[in-house]
């Protein structure tokens, strides 16, 4: 597809918006309106019949939301994008549009907790079954594909263990069976990883995270072919209705302008902290795909620009030691979510992954000692010093 602006850094700022169409307003206006007026009854008829393009009602389309959608379609190098009121609204709209009763979904081992919940709900209500797969080898994937498999759904890197899946390996197999592949690209953003270029069919995002970047919006996005996005727009988006508000779209448009420079800083800070932490005596292990000693480093290099702004680590100690450490942090905030300017820390075993039965959780590598850090945009030395003084409170055997 022809792109007006060649470079990503330019597209985040200019794509999808022309100030000439908006009285010269440099910033995209917020069209805070529920509905749009028709000039004549006949025009209304043509809009509804699809014979003429125009805005009808904000659940069906809104000019501020359109700017965001056009930008994100270009940034992910897809044909079309739809914006939603949360990452889960985007994920559920996509999964429900790709499946019907008695279908099967093949899922990467380790997905976002509510995606796991959604899959369970789909099974209970509609008998849409699923299997989890580590997807380390093509044999593992092939052995779980069934005649009724209509979707392969993956997340990479996998939260919070930071294992990676080779997207191209998955999409090559999926193509043989004509099964669409959906990739949750939340942890990377299109600046670090472009799954559509690696052969996947749909990219979904929790735009709440790096796309927004400032911890002040909950939003979701789906990017894919015009055909599929139009279908979703007229079914699981229009009729279930999880749309994005114009003001939230505007905040995301603003956040996107600094995505490349924010991601560079997130990644640089993370690299430095990982290097420092690997040498710390209170630390048992550090998991970061951008680290050359990570088992999936080669996959990371193949499909990501840098290793990202998240890493996890295990301390030498107990659950109480973990909580003691977290309680002594001064600048770093204890919170789930990620991708914000502020460094955030959370304890997966008692927070994001606490609903998973203990044996399953442990088999996924999520121990009581595992801590996940979303590295912020502060000075890396200040983050390090806060981690250091927190770790000083641990008694090392």
Return residues touching ligand PLP (CB under 6 A). 86-88, 112, 114, 155, 159, 184, 186-187, 206, 208-209, 218, 220
Half-sphere exposure in the Cβ direction for 144 (13 Å, CA)? 22
Residue number with CB closer to ligand PLP (69 or 206) = 206
Q: Cβ 299 to ligand PLP, closest distance in Å?
A: 18
Closest CA to 213 of 394, 15, 377, 43: 377
Q: Cβ 385 to ligand PLP, closest distance in Å?
A: 28
Q: Cβ 86 to ligand PLP, closest distance in Å?
A: 3
Q: Cβ 301 to ligand PLP, closest distance in Å?
A: 21
Q: How far is CA 169 from CA 27, 130, 269, in A?
A: 41, 20, 30
Residue number with CB closer to ligand PLP (192 or 283) = 192
Residue number with CB closer to ligand PLP (171 or 208) = 208
Closest CA to 233 of 22, 105, 30, 50: 50
Residue number with CB closer to ligand PLP (112 or 325) = 112
SS (H, E, C) 252-293: HHHHHCCHHHHHHHHHHHHHHHHHHHHCCCCEEEEECCCCCC
Rounded Cα gap, residues 36 and 59, in angstroms: 11
Q: Cβ 153 to ligand PLP, closest distance in Å?
A: 11
Residue number with CB closer to ligand PLP (374 or 394) = 374
E strand segments, the chain = 80-84, 104-108, 129-133, 149-155, 181-184, 202-206, 220-224, 283-287, 310-315, 333-334, 344-346, 370-374
Q: Cβ 336 to ligand PLP, closest distance in Å?
A: 8
Contact 34, 58 (CB under 8 A): yes
Torsion, Cα 255 195 110 238, to 10 degrees, reads 70
Residue number with CB closer to ligand PLP (153 or 313) = 153
Give Cα 383 distance to the centre of its chain.
24
Residue number with CB closer to ligand PLP (331 or 336) = 336
Give me the helices (H) in 132-238, please: 138-144, 167-177, 189-192, 226-232
Q: Which residue is nearest to ligand PLP (CB)?
A: 87
Q: Cβ 276 to ligand PLP, closest distance in Å?
A: 25
Residue number with CB closer to ligand PLP (87 or 180) = 87
Contact 80, 229 (CB under 8 A): yes
Q: Cβ 159 to ligand PLP, closest distance in Å?
A: 6
């Amino acid at each position: 597809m022809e792109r007006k602006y060649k470079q990503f850094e330019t597209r985040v700022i200019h794509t999808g918006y022309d100030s000439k169409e908006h009285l010269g307003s440099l910033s995209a206006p917020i069209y805070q309106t529920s509905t749009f007026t028709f000039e004549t009854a006949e025009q209304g008829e043509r809009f509804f019949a699809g014979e003429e393009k125009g805005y009808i009602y904000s659940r069906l389309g809104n000019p501020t939301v359109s700017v965001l959608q056009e930008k994100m379609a270009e940034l992910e190098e897809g044909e079309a994008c739809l914006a939603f009121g949360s990452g889960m609204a985007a994920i559920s709209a996509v999964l429900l549009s790709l499946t019907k009763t008695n279908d099967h979904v093949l899922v990467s081992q380790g997905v976002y907790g509510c995606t796991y919940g959604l899959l369970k709900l789909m099974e209970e209500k509609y008998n849409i079954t699923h299997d989890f797969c580590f997807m380390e080898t093509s044999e593992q994937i092939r052995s779980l594909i069934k005649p009724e498999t209509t979707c392969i759904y993956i997340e990479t890197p996998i939260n919070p263990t930071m294992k990676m899946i080779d997207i191209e390996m998955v999409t090559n197999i999926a193509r043989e069976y004509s099964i669409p592949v959906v990739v949750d690209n939340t942890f990377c953003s299109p600046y670090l990883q472009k799954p559509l270029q690696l052969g996947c069919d749909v990219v979904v995002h929790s735009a709440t995270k790096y796309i927004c970047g400032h911890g002040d919006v909950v939003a979701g996005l789906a990017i894919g072919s015009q055909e599929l996005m139009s279908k979703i727009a007229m079914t699981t988006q229009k009729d279930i209705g999880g749309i994005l508000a114009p003001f939230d779209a505007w905040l995301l448009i603003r956040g996107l302008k600094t995505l490349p420079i924010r991601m560079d800083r997130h990644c640089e800070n993370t690299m430095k902290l990982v290097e420092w932490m690997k040498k710390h005596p209170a630390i048992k292990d550090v998991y970061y795909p951008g680290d050359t000693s990570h088992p999936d480093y080669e996959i990371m290099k193949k499909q990501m620009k840098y290793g990202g702004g998240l890493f996890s680590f295990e301390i030498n100690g107990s659950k109480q030691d973990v909580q003691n450490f977290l309680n002594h942090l001064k600048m770093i905030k204890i919170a789930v979510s990620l991708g914000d300017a502020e460094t955030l820390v959370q304890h997966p075993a008692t927070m994001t992954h606490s609903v998973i039965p203990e044996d399953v959780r442990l088999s996924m590598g999520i121990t009581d000692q595992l801590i996940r850090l979303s590295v912020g945009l502060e000075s890396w030395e200040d983050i390090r010093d806060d981690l250091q003084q927190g770790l000083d409170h641990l008694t090392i055997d």
